[in-house]
Amino acid sequence: METLLWVRAHMVALMVVVFGLIALTTYWPGRKSVVERNASIPLDDDL
């Protein structure tokens, strides 16, 4: 129960940390080709 109260009290900070980790892994050097390949998936014409 204490853990749930702590998480509820710090939810915004936890969301900022998660967003930061996602942004960090996305813009990490050397991942440009992977990010560009994944970003072009909706634009590929499979018909």
18 Cα distance to chain centroid: 7
Could you tell me the residue ranges of all domains in the chain? 1-28
Each residue of 5-21: pLDDT tens digit?
998 999 999 999 999 99
Distance CA 6, CA 46 (A): 48
Distance CA 28, CA 35 (A): 10
Distance CA 39, CA 21 (A): 19
Model confidence band, residue 32 (pLDDT cutoffs 50, 70, 90): confident
pLDDT confidence of residue 23: 92
Model confidence band, residue 47 (pLDDT cutoffs 50, 70, 90): low
For residues 35 and 26, the answer to whether their CB atoms sit within 8 Å is yes
pLDDT exceeds cutoff 90 at 35? no
Mean of the per-residue pLDDT values for the chain? 90
Look up residue 30 and give its amino acid: G
pLDDT confidence of residue 12: 93
